[in-house]
Every structure is written in structure tokens, then in C-alpha cells.
Structure 1
Amino acid sequence: MKKLLRLMKAFQLNGKLNRKLNVMIAVIMVPFIILVIYLLASMINYCNSYNQIVRNVSLANSYNIDFKKEIDAGMYQIAIGSAVPENIQEKKDIRNPYEVLEEARTDFAKLQKSTLAPGNERRVKRLLKTFDTLEKRMQEISADAGVSGHYEENLVRLDNNIRILTEVLQEGIQEYIHYETDHLESVRYELEQKEQDAVEISVICLIVVIAGAVMVGFAISRSVVKPIVGMCKTTEEVALGNFDVRVEVNSSDETAILAESFNRMIADMGELVERIKQEQLNLRDAELKLLQAQINPHFLYNTLDTIIWMAEAGKKEEVVSLVSSLSGFFRTTLSKGRDYITVREEVSHISSYLEIQKFRYRDIMDYEINIPDSMSEYPILKLTLQPLVENALYHGIKNKRGKGKIEVQGAIKNNLLIFTVKDDGIGMMPEQLHMLYETIEKEHSDSEDNAGFGLANVNERIRLNYGKEYGLTFSSVYGEGTAVSVTIPI
């Protein structure tokens, strides 16, 4: 018993889990498979024997009565000279006795090979010899049937040879059927005994299999459950914020691999949490810098100066409109501290901004906003489009001689929101465009250039919130204008 317990303990600690499960399956399945194969082989063997005996009896029984009648009737017609073997069937509607004899000899030759009853092979062999003797006597009668003066002799031969031999053959066939049937009963009895043995063996095998399965299953469950319980306790510690805890497993199966992976996951989670904290700090820093940029004192001073000289000039309606746009601009900028606003609110924000700037730059700036209503209710990061519009004005339109236009467009494509801010301003040289890409690709850009800072800030916020596959793309031709596209997921 102690040796068995040591073996079970070693089984728990050593080996892969799939190997343990395979052992358990083998303990359950192998005995059953052997038992099923044994039972199937026995059943098939006895069923084949049973069926073969039935076929043999059926075949022999077909000659039990008709054979004697057909031979006797056919030979009588030949003996009296009423017919010859070649045309007997055509004249008298009686089967040719030679054909009947040949069929019987062929069938009983098969029975000699397939018979299973003890002694029946010898009996069939004796019947085959009797068939040969019968054929010789039939030939004697057939030879003298066409010669005059042999009528009485052939009738005597018919009575003393043919009918006696057919009687002997009929008795031999009945004897064959009798012993074959007796063997059928013995096969049936053996089959019943095998069924009883199979039930007893199945019960014993079932008891052994259940006992083995319980022992192996208990060993496997302990080897699996114990480490999992340890991982559950460790998970509770991790849930409380302790990323220094680790799982200890003293086995070499898959649970050990799982524990190692679990420990690595805890370590990665700790690093990830720290990285997320840092990214959140970076995101808040970027948002704060952008908010500070939007509450630009120069922009506010210039707007208030514009309001003052309009008021002095008596342009009350324009003052009301400008104050309303300024109020809407800062209301959206603050947005009660929300990070996300709807596309409609973002459009209202850039409309307010462009209206304010149009009062100041009415001679050089025009704008157009084409964003479909179907996009209005989708959420978007606050202050995504306004910095792009501001960049288009200050670094595109203002640097161009003559009047320019800013266009803001939106579209939905492949579950993406795509916004484009285009201007027909001065544009950029290829090297300027390259430097701009380098600026916005730098994380935590501290560029003093307003264009670089604003665009880099927007790009960084988009990537921190949506993923690095999203952000800004640019196209620009010097002297023709610039287009900035924003791609974010719905």
C-alpha cells in the first residue's frame, strides 16, 4: 500500500498533464477495448457458425424429397424408352435426371467443405461416392434404353438399382440434416454460455476500471487543482494591487508552464500599469498644453480689441455676433472637463473660431465646412480639428499674398471617421514637410514652433487614445496649399 501511495505521489509530480490524462484514458479504455474485441470476435465466430449451419441445412433440405422423385421419374421415362436424356424435359416436363444429379453432387461438394458438425464431412463424402455409383447405374439403363429386348431388364434395374440408391441417398441426406441440426443446438448453447461469461467478465472489468479511474483521477485532480488554487490566491493578491507576488508550483506538467506564464503576466501587468500611469500623465500634460494654447492671451487680447473698436464704431450686431462666437469657442474648449465631445460640438467649435478670425481677417480669409449630418453624433476627442484650422490660417493663408480659403470636410469609410482640413495658402517645400513629419512623430514634443507644437500635440493625443495606427497625415505643394487628414475609428 505504501509503495502504491509513493507511486501515486510520483505520478502527481512528474510527467505532463496530457500524459497523465492519457494514462487515465488508457486505464478506462484499454480494458473495455479488449473486452469489446473479445466479445465481438466471439459473437462473430458463433454467428458465422450459426448462419453457416442454417445455410447447410437449408441447402441439404432442398434435396431431401425432390431429389428422389426427380431421379426416379426421369429414369423411368428413359427405362421404358419414352424419352432419351437429351429431350426428356421437352417431352414430359420432367427434369433431366443427369442435371439433377450433377447439381446435387456440386452442392454436396460445397457442403463437404463448409460442414461444421462432427462426422458430417465423412457422411457427405459417403454421399458423393453414392452419387458416383448412381450415375453409373443410370448410364447402364440409358445405354440399353434404345436397344430392343432390354425393356424388362431396365425396369428391374430401375427397381433394384436406381430406386434403392435414391432411397439410400435420401436417408443419407436426412442423416446429414439430423447431425447438422444437433450441432446447431450445441452452437446455440455455447453462445448462451459465452453471453453469461461476457456479463461476468464485463462486471469484473467494470469494477477494476472504476477503481483504477478513481485512483488515477484523484491523482490528476490533485496535481491540477492544487496549483490552480495557488494561482487563485495569487490572483486575489494581484487584484489588491500587489504585483510582486508569485505562484510556486513543484510539478513538471502543464500547470508549471501555466504558473510560469502567470508569473510573467503578473510582471508584465506591473510594468503595463506603470506604463499606463505614465501615458496618462503624458496625455494629461498634452491636453493641458493644448488647453493652454487655446486660451492664448494674444488671441483673447486681439479678439477683445476687435470687440472694442467695433463697439466704438457702433456695430452692435457685429459685437453681439463676435461675443457669441467667443463665448461658444471657450465653452467648447472647457466642455465641463470632458475629454470627448460629439462631432457636432467640434464643428461648432471650429465654426466659432473661424467666425472670430473672419472678423479680423475678412479681407484675406474665407472658409467652408462640409461635414455630413450622419457624423454629428459620433464622439471625438475635444480640440482635434481646431488646431488644424488654426495652423491652416496662420501658416497657410496669412503667408500667402491675396485671399485664401479653408475647407473642412468629413466622411465615413470602413468604420473610420476621416476629417480633412485644406487650405490654398503658401504650402510647404518637401524639406519643410519632412521636418514637420519628424516633429509630430516625436513623443512629448517641446517644439517652440506653434505649428509643430499644435500638430504634434493633436497627433500624440490621438495615438494615446486610439492607438498608434491612427493620427495625422499631410500633403502639401509649395505655392498651392496644404491638406491635413485626421483618421480615427468610429
Structure 2
Amino acid sequence: MKKKILTLAAVVTLPFILLVMYLLASMASYSNTYDEIVSNMTVANNYNLNFKEEMDESLYKLVVGYVTLDTIETDKSLKNPYTLIDELRSEFTRLTAITTESESKLWLESLLRNIDTLEKRVDDIVDSISAGGRYNENIEKLDNNIYILTELIQDDIQYYIYYQTRYMDKVTDTLQDQIRRFMVVCSVLIGVLIIVVAVSAVMIVSGIIQPISQLNQATEKIAQGDFNARAQADSEDEVAELAVSFNKMAGSMQSLIDKVKEDERKMRKADLRLLQEQIQPHFLYNTLDTIVWLIESNEPDEAVTMVVTLSDFFREILSKGKEFISIKEEEKHISSYLQIQEMRYRDILEYDIQLDQVIYKYQILKLTLQPVVENALYHGIKYKRAKGCIHIHGEKEGDIIRLTVRDDGVGMDEEELEQLRQQIEKPCQETEKGFGLANVNERIHMYFGPEYGMKIQSQKGKGTTVEIVIPAILEAPVEKTGNDTAKVAEGGNSVNFDANKKIKSNPKQQNANKIIEGGRPQQEETGV
């Protein structure tokens, strides 16, 4: 495109530049010729005014004996005749060499011959004066030779000036003719240039706009979902390069879209698997067994409490199919999960949830904390064979939210910790263990970026700390439809409970745990 624009500019400007250069050259030539003529005429005119008078006076005073050749230059009003002749010959010899006008040159040649004759006549007078006693003869030579020759020389100079003046007029006429021709040629050239520039501009602009138009059409097709559209550009310019890049981009977009769809399918599959992992048959069977034994042990309140808690747990897991929930909802979910587990593992489990209420309104990926808490319970607290505690903490730090799950369970040594760190950085489908943690970490990376995610610290015998960092993004407002309720039929009567009710431990729960421990054997569960 740059070459095309430069070509158009050259087509427009080059002829005018040539014309201007021609005009400037003509003007410079005229100026030089004019200055030369003026300079020559000035020299000639100076001698025309002074030479005859100075020569005649100097020779007359030599003849009458007023001065001699030796003393003539002492008189400031007189000049040596030979000096005058030499100066005149020198100047007009130079003018002859530089004069080109033929008539002027003829009169200069005549002038130089007369100067030679005058020099001879001056020699005769000087010789006669040297011989002495020839006053009348010398006066006659002045009248008949010197005065006539100086007058002829003066006439030659005047004719030279006359013809130089005519030559100056001729040069001026020539310049005016050149200017007139220049104006005519310039007018014709402007007309031709207008046509040439118009045609060239149409061709060049068309060569620029047409590929851009084709590229625009291809872009519109791409925007409409036709990823087979390609831009055609035969010009060898930036637009052609852009078209090539566009075609490469269009060619890769379909594969990228397919890859995104595949990644989304995998993520949906992973989410489904994670959901299935949370609704484990063992967990559900054991919880239902606990409820049955509570009822058989005549502990209906504890059984109802556990049913409501289980209902809350599954309600939060499903979350109406939403990918994101509020941190407050996530807290409800993890609270329900821990309440159920606390009723089952009363003798070994304590927990503490401390989430800053400031972060309640921010969103979090569903099932972010539950797999981490489950891992802490089954791989930390349970193997401790003594009472342990799970601490859950969360706060906002600038533009991020930091969530921490810490347990005082058995912990891990350096080798085990490093293996787990490597596992959670893999795609969750490729993990051999720690699927739940890898799933959480992968989803955080996918939705928020690689700068967010999970970090694990652990010490053998002291416990494990899992830190989750996510961006602080406010939850989109949703329309509330009222409180959810759960109904449990007991003795033909229905009892309503608020789904968001906080459940606290009570002495009867301890009895329920004793029943569980002393009743049917519970099925073994494994962490995520």
C-alpha cells in the first residue's frame, strides 16, 4: 500500500517537479546572461565616458611640454597614455572572449584594431617629442590622428553598447517566449495529469479497497458462524498479508472451538463425576442407617434433625444446576456435611467454621470446600484414632478471597506431600489419587486462570493445611422465591423445618452415636 501511494504521489508530482526545474534552469540562465550583459555594458560605458577625454588631455599636455612621460603620473588629473591603452586593450580583449552576440563581437574586434593603431600613433608622437623642435608637427598629429582614433574607439564602444542592449532585449523576449511555452505546456500537462491521476487513483484505491471489502465480507461470515469463509487477496501488499493471517486465524478458530467444546464436555463430565463422588452410596447408606437406628432407639428428634441436614446437604450439592453459588451457600453446604459427619463421628470430630461475613456475597465454584473437608476427615482425622478438629477460615484480601481448611490429623511426610502436589496439578481424569482435590484445582484454573488455585502444606503427625485462592467476584443478583422447607412424615403428622436452619450438637446426639457404634456395623468410606 505504501508503494501504491508513493507511485500515485510520483505520478502527480514528478512532471511538475521537472517543469519547475526547467523553469528554474531557464530563469538561472537568463539571470546569468542578463548579469553578464549588464556587467559588460558597465565596463564599456565607463570607457565610453572617460577614455577619449583622458587620452586626448594626456597627449596634448605631453605635446605642449606641460609634462613628460616620466612625470605625467605625478599629476592626478592625467594618466600615462600607454597605461590607458593597456587597460582598454585588456578589458575589451576579455569582453571579446565572453561576448556571444555577433554584432557586438564585430565592433569589439574593430575597437581592438583601432587601439593597436592608436598605440602606433602615440609612439610617433612620443618619438617626435623626444627628437624635439616639432611642436607644430605634433599638434597636427594630435588633430589628424589621435583625436580621430579616440573618437573612432568611442564610436566602437557605443556601437558595442547599442548591440548589447539589443541583445538584452532579445534575451528578455526569449525568456518571455519560454514562459509562455511553459504556461501552455503546463496547462496541457495539468489536463493530462488530471486524467492520469484520476485513472491511477481509481485503480490504486480499488486495489486497496477491494481486498479490504473481501476481507470484511469474510469477517461477517465468520461472525455469523461460517468458519469455512476465507478472504481472497491477490495484491502483494499489507492487505494481502492481513488476509493470509485472517485465513490462518479462521482455520484455527474451528479447531479452537472444538477444543473448547471438548474441554467443556470433559469439565461437565468431571463435574458429574465429582457430584457422583459426593453422593457416595457408602455415605448415603451409613447416614440412612444412622437415621433408622435413631428412630428405632426412640430418638425421633435426632432422626428428623439428621434428615433435614441430609436434605440441606443434597439441596446445596444440586444448586439447581448452577456452576457458581455464593460463599454463604457454600458455607451452608459444608456445614450440613460436617453436621452429618459430626453425628456419625462424635467421638473423634470437631469442627470450626469462621468465614468473614464480608465474603458471603462473593461467588465460588460449587463443591469447592466439601472435597477438601472430606479429605481432611478421611485421610487426616479418621486415621488419627483420637479426637481431631477441622478449622475452616475465609477472608477477603484486596482483590482475592483466601479460604483455608486446616486439620490436626496424621499429616504427611515430604514424599507423600510432594506426590499429592503433583497429582492435583494434573487433569483430574489422569489422577491416581486425590481426585476431588485435583478436580477443584482444575476447575479453579479453568474458570479463573492459572494464578489462582490450591496450595497444600503438611507435617507428619501435626496435620495438613489446604489454602484455596480465588478472585473476589460479586455474585450476580437473583430473584428470591421464598424459603425452602422439608417435610418429614412422622405418625401421620407433617413437621416443617426451615432448610437454612443451623443445627447444633446436643446431648441426645451423643446417644445416637452410641447407638450407631453399638448397632449395625457401618460401611467403610474413603475420601475424595
TM-score, normalised relative to structure 2:
0.55
Distance 1:220 1:364, change over 3 A: closer
Paired residue type of 1:122: K
For 1:428 and 1:111, the matched residues in 2 are separated by: 117
1:178 equivalenced with 2:166 (yes/no) = yes
| Aligned 1:51-450 pairs, distance under 5 A | 51-63=31-43, 65-66=45-46, 68-69=48-49, 109=94, 113=98, 118-119=101-102, 122=105, 126=109, 129=112, 165=153, 168-204=156-192, 206-207=194-195, 228=214, 232=217, 268-291=252-275, 298=283, 301=287, 337-341=321-325, 345-346=326-327, 349-350=330-331, 353=334, 357=338, 380-384=364-368, 387-388=371-372, 391=375, 395=379, 407-408=393-394, 410-412=396-398, 417=400, 419=402, 421=404, 423=406, 425=408, 426-445=410-429
For 1:87 and 1:366, the matched residues in 2 are separated by: 133
1:48 equivalenced with 2:28 (yes/no) = yes
Identity between Structure 1 and Structure 2 (%): 25
For 2:154 and 2:472, the matched residues in 1 are separated by: 101
Alpha carbons 2:402, 2:470 under 8 Å: kept: yes
Distance 1:67 1:336, change over 3 A: farther
Alpha carbons 1:109, 1:128 under 8 Å: kept: no
* Aligned partner of residue 474 in structure 1, secondary structure: strand
Q: Which moved more, 1:454-463 or 1:472-481?
A: 472-481
Deviation of the 1:179 alpha carbon: 1.0
For 2:447 and 2:188, the matched residues in 1 are separated by: 71
Q: Which moved more, 1:326-335 or 1:287-296?
A: 326-335
Aligned to 1:464: 446
Distance 1:422 1:59, change over 3 A: farther
Deviation of the 1:63 alpha carbon: 4.0
* Aligned partner of residue 429 in structure 2, secondary structure: coil
Deviation of the 1:385 alpha carbon: 5.0
Alpha carbons 2:96, 2:109 under 8 Å: kept: no
Q: Which moved more, 1:55-64 or 1:161-170?
A: 161-170
Alpha carbons 1:64, 1:174 under 8 Å: kept: no
* Aligned partner of residue 427 in structure 2, secondary structure: coil
Deviation of the 1:192 alpha carbon: 0.8
For 2:110 and 2:467, the matched residues in 1 are separated by: 109
Deviation of the 1:180 alpha carbon: 2.3
* Aligned partner of residue 445 in structure 1, secondary structure: helix
Q: Which runs of 5+ in 1 are unaligned?
A: 1-17
Aligned to 2:469: 486
Pairs aligned (count): 432
Paired residue type of 1:484: E
For 1:393 and 1:67, the matched residues in 2 are separated by: 128
For 1:178 and 1:387, the matched residues in 2 are separated by: 114
For 1:160 and 1:346, the matched residues in 2 are separated by: 130
* Aligned partner of residue 434 in structure 1, secondary structure: helix
TM-score, normalised relative to structure 1:
0.58
For 1:352 and 1:248, the matched residues in 2 are separated by: 53
* Aligned partner of residue 467 in structure 2, secondary structure: strand
Deviation of the 1:477 alpha carbon: 4.7
Distance 1:454 1:180, change over 3 A: same
Deviation of the 1:440 alpha carbon: 2.6
Distance 1:453 1:195, change over 3 A: same
- Once the two structures are superposed, residues 237-269 of structure 1 have per-residue CA deviations (whole angstroms, 9 ceiling, x without a partner) of x777676x67698x9767999988777766644
For 1:107 and 1:418, the matched residues in 2 are separated by: 106
Paired residue type of 2:415: E
- Once the two structures are superposed, residues 300-337 of structure 1 have per-residue CA deviations (whole angstroms, 9 ceiling, x without a partner) of 959x98xx99xx99x9xxx99x9999999888766554
Alpha carbons 1:418, 1:487 under 8 Å: kept: yes
What is the Cα-based RMSD across aligned positions, in Å?
6.5
* Aligned partner of residue 177 in structure 1, secondary structure: helix
For 1:395 and 1:331, the matched residues in 2 are separated by: 26
Paired residue type of 1:454: G
Deviation of the 1:170 alpha carbon: 4.7
Aligned to 1:13: none
For 2:470 and 2:27, the matched residues in 1 are separated by: 77
Paired residue type of 2:174: S
Q: Which has the larger radius of gyration?
A: 2
For 1:420 and 1:134, the matched residues in 2 are separated by: 126
Alpha carbons 2:214, 2:231 under 8 Å: kept: no
* Aligned partner of residue 428 in structure 1, secondary structure: coil
For 1:330 and 1:128, the matched residues in 2 are separated by: 132
Aligned to 1:3: none
Distance 1:294 1:66, change over 3 A: farther
Q: Which runs of 5+ in 2 are unaligned?
A: 62-66, 474-528
Paired residue type of 1:478: Q
